[in-house]
């Protein structure tokens, strides 16, 4: 499996591993389930901040998402330390890791969930444009 390195806002080095398919799929499903009923824009970057906030709050408060995120985080390192819940209580790194927590989660999602969506969103976008331009 491959790995990507990120420098987080705190300056910490964060290595994200591509997790096994089942773990990535479980995270993707948990995120989708947590976003059910929230109107998502075709391009998430163009979403209303209030709607995006609702999606983020829903994901951040979902036990299912948290469990799936930690299955992925356990394959990552933060400042060369394996990421477990103990990291966030570590006397040396805990405070800094807590500040970076949501950024770490976002990077795990980016690396492990985007492959599920890249082709799907492209296909959906083509379908919507074609449907919009075809006579009724």
Could you report the per-residue pLDDT of 42-91, keeping only the tens digit for each? Answer: 555 566 666 667 778 878 888 999 999 999 999 999 999 999 999 999 99
Segment of 14-23, 60-69, 117-126 carrying the highest mean pLDDT: 14-23
Output the pLDDT for position 61: 83
CA distance 92 to 81: 11
- Smallest Cα–Cα separation from 77: which of 31, 113, 108? 108
Give the three-class secondary structure for 24: helix
Output the pLDDT for position 37: 78
Chain position carrying tokens 């969506």: 117
Indicate the pLDDT class of residue 132, thresholds 50, 70 and 90. low
> How many CB atoms are closer than 10 A to CB 95?
13
CA distance 58 to 38: 9
Helix (H) or strand (E) holding 117: helix 94-133
Paired residues of 77 in beta bridges: 15, 82
Domain boundaries, the chain: 3-133
CA distance 3 to 59: 24
CA distance 5 to 13: 7
């Amino acid at each position: 499996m491959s790995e990507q390195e990120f420098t987080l806002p705190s300056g910490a080095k964060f290595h994200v591993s591509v997790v096994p398919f089942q773990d990535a799929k479980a995270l993707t499903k948990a995120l989708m389930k947590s976003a059910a009923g929230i109107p998502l824009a075709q391009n998430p970057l163009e979403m209303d901040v209030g709607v995006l906030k609702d999606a983020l709050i829903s994901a951040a408060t979902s036990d299912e998402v948290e469990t799936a995120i930690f299955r992925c985080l356990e394959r990552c390192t933060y400042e060369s330390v394996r990421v477990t819940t103990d990291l966030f209580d570590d006397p040396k790194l805990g405070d800094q890791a807590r500040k970076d927590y949501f950024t770490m989660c976002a990077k795990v999602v980016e690396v492990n969930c985007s492959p599920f969506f890249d082709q799907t969103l492209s296909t959906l976008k083509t379908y919507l444009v074609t449907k919009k331009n075809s006579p009724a």
